[in-house]
Structure 1
Amino acid sequence: MNTIPFSQDRPLDLIAIGRLCIDMNANEINRPMEETLTFTKYLGGSPANIAVAAARLGLRTGFIGKVANDQFGNYITSYLVKEGIDTGNIVVDRTGAVTGLAFTEIKSSEDCSILMYRDNVADLKLEPKDVKEEYIRQSKAILISGTALSKSPSREAVFMALEYAIKHNVLVFFDVDYRPYSWNSPEETGIYCRMVAEKSDVIIAGREEFDLMEAPFGELRHDDWYTAETWLRCKAKLVMVKHGSNGSISFTNDGKTFRSGTYPTIVVKTFGAGDSFAGAFIYGLFQGWSVDRCQKFGSASASIVVASHSCSDAMPTVEQIQAVIDRNEN
């Protein structure tokens, strides 16, 4: 069992809010971008990936966001519908904003990079009026992605969603999802992400991301235990610090600590691991599993996605994840 309380008798388990974009993953791997000739299109954006992961595992999932009035925007919405995700609160932009694009370079399993096109993107045009209180009230939890805080009016829309969630006892997951190219400065990132983290029930972030939130206030110690103490003094019931290939460590408000490693796999690319981990981890919390079991489930999910060419398309089922766990532990 875990100590994360969810309101019952609500039609949705999870609503994600934030970035909706397109991933263009290189088909020619083990070569630089300059020599890459073809790419495959996938749904992208961290909250979108997490929503897909959660839905594929069986959670009733919805999304609040904004897409461009173009073919890519149509593709994004259609993809989410196909996955069983409620898109009734995804708005079509009418200002001429475009769909964000992420071109991936896969030089090797250890050397991957992303070339982002994020100027005038539709997802950051989300406005407070696009966030409906009644919709959020229908969910057990919302997932906020930090990138949505990087620009107005999306920033204000997220804070509106946060306040509605608190008002209606909707549990708040916060995935910091730091992307330097989206922000004006690390200090700006730290200030706005901290404002959300202080009101969140579950905070998921890497060591660098916690450092960003702690540095502007003179609290930078690069220490997981200090980080846990800092955020558990706020509203958080669970604080997870991710350490990439070294696994993660979670701290709960009942004083417990949980460490997890990774599962062996043949790595194709490094991105997508965090999103698949988060989706599976959140699923486990909804099942009432122990945090330790949730972390193992998340790690197994991540091992499947990093062994695949895509992120969203590769999000696994419960059976696929359990097969990885059984294969490595039996």
Structure 2
Amino acid sequence: MSSGFAFPEGRALDFVSIGRLCIDLNANEIHRPLEETVTFTRYLGGSPANITVALARLGAKTGFIGKIASDGFGRFIRRYLEEAGIDTTSVVDDATGAVTGLAFTEIKSPTDCSILMYRDNVADLKLTPGEVGEELIASAKALVVSGTALAASPSREAVFAAIGYARKHGTAVVYDIDYRPYTWANRDEIQTYCALAAEQADVIFGGIEEFSLLEPKTDAPFDEAAVVARWLGHRAKLVVVKRGGDGSVAYDADGGVFPGRTFPANVVKTFGAGDSFAGAFLYGLQQGWPVPKCQDYGAAAAHIVVSSHSCSDAMPTRAQVEDVLRMVGALEV
């Protein structure tokens, strides 16, 4: 039942993340298209930010490496991270006039949600290798890398510098493919740079579409077993395929296959589920839990987030996750 993977011990921090810090503006008038939406509520956004908040809420000691705009949104992001207990010593202020990325969400129905992104000249993609805190990475058990940060330079080089520091200091690397079409120049770049990151990762998260983008373009159907075997043949000890409403399947380097379930929810919106799942799963993995228990924790966290208006604000505490597990009869005593 175990993944066969263990994090290094004796570190001040459990997880340090690198990547996108932005603003989510979620529609308050749900069940209507964006053109009929009048008001929005502001939240911290960005998959790596959400995952880090999820980990912090569950009790993990966390830090973040990133770049924010020198504006009100940037100041909001820094304050939010600090109030969540996340180390921001490696969150730097941009001095070039770059802006904060914005994500406007449209919630037409529980199953029909979309995001309108504004990502031109964003601060998070301006992070340089020289701004990556080696000491912070060396102090952490794991580095969490977001694939979106690989979409453009100099952020791309900063991420690979961070991975290099992690390898140097024995810090585990967790890679969330986090594919977003709005920042990549072409498919060849996606395949090249995302695959290079995956080759250096100890744990990989992604959906079926995301994993397929890491493969050479072909008309052949997606072969999940072959794709997973490829990444387990590099450094990965654990590969987690997220399947949305159908749960997840985790594969470990010892040949273990672990189907994960979902729990019924009163769904408000679909986005945020993957981030909450990854955060709670990683929390459990760092605790040394069996993979199925990690999956249940992730599923319970996702249950809470999809039932809520926000992503980051809705990331649950351990008590809230265990309330859900107790409700569905899945809490291990």
Q: Which residue of 2 aligns with 1:29?
A: 30
Q: Which residue of 1 aligns with 2:65?
A: 64
Count of aligned residue pairs for this structure pair: 329
Which moves more between the two structures, 71-80 or 186-195?
A: 186-195
Distance 2:82 2:106 in 1: 29
Summarize the alignment of residues 300-311 of structure 1 with structure 2, pairs less than 5 Å apart.
300-311=300-311
Summarize the alignment of residues 311-330 of structure 1 with structure 2, pairs less than 5 Å apart.
311-329=311-329
Name the aligned partner's letter for residue 130 of structure 2: K
| Alignment RMSD (CA, Å) | 1.1
After superposing on structure 2, the runs of 4+ consecutive aligned residues of structure 1 that deviate more than 3 Å are: 218-221
Summarize the alignment of residues 133-144 of structure 1 with structure 2, pairs less than 5 Å apart.
133-144=134-145
Distance 2:221 2:291 in 1: 25
Distance 1:201 1:133 in 2: 19
Q: Which residue of 2 aligns with 1:289?
A: 289
Gaps of 5+ in 2: none
Distance 2:9 2:157 in 1: 28
Using a 3 Å threshold, how does the CA distance of structure 1 residues 197 and 99 change in structure 2: closer, same or farther?
same
How far residue 221 of structure 1 moved from its aligned partner, in angstroms, is 4.5
How far residue 223 of structure 1 moved from its aligned partner, in angstroms, is 1.9
Name the aligned partner's letter for residue 237 of structure 2: K
Write out per-residue CA displacement over residues 281-325 of structure 1, whole angstroms, 9 at most, x where no aligned residue: 000001100011100110110010000000000000111111111
Summarize the alignment of residues 120-159 of structure 1 with structure 2, pairs less than 5 Å apart.
120-159=121-160
CA contact (8 A) 1:180 1:186 kept: no
Summarize the alignment of residues 215-226 of structure 1 with structure 2, pairs less than 5 Å apart.
215-216=216-217, 221-226=221-226
Distance 1:107 1:187 in 2: 33
Summarize the alignment of residues 158-237 of structure 1 with structure 2, pairs less than 5 Å apart.
158-216=159-217, 221-237=221-237
How far residue 2 of structure 1 moved from its aligned partner, in angstroms, is 3.5
How far residue 219 of structure 1 moved from its aligned partner, in angstroms, is 10
Write out per-residue CA displacement over residues 67-111 of structure 1, whole angstroms, 9 at most, x where no aligned residue: 000000000000000000000000000000000000000000010
When normalised by structure 1's length, the TM-score is 0.98
CA contact (8 A) 1:172 1:200 kept: yes
SS in 2 for 1:97: coil
SS in 2 for 1:278: helix
Which moves more between the two structures, 221-230 or 293-302?
A: 221-230
Name the aligned partner's letter for residue 309 of structure 1: H
Distance 1:127 1:199 in 2: 20
Write out per-residue CA displacement over residues 123-180 of structure 1, whole angstroms, 9 at most, x where no aligned residue: 0000000012222111100000000000000000000000110111100000000000
Q: Which residue of 2 aligns with 1:245?
A: 245
CA contact (8 A) 1:187 1:212 kept: no
CA contact (8 A) 1:211 1:220 kept: no
CA contact (8 A) 2:3 2:238 kept: no
When normalised by structure 2's length, the TM-score is 0.97
SS in 2 for 1:53: helix
Distance 2:222 2:169 in 1: 35
How far residue 114 of structure 1 moved from its aligned partner, in angstroms, is 0.3
How far residue 212 of structure 1 moved from its aligned partner, in angstroms, is 0.3
Distance 1:186 1:292 in 2: 34
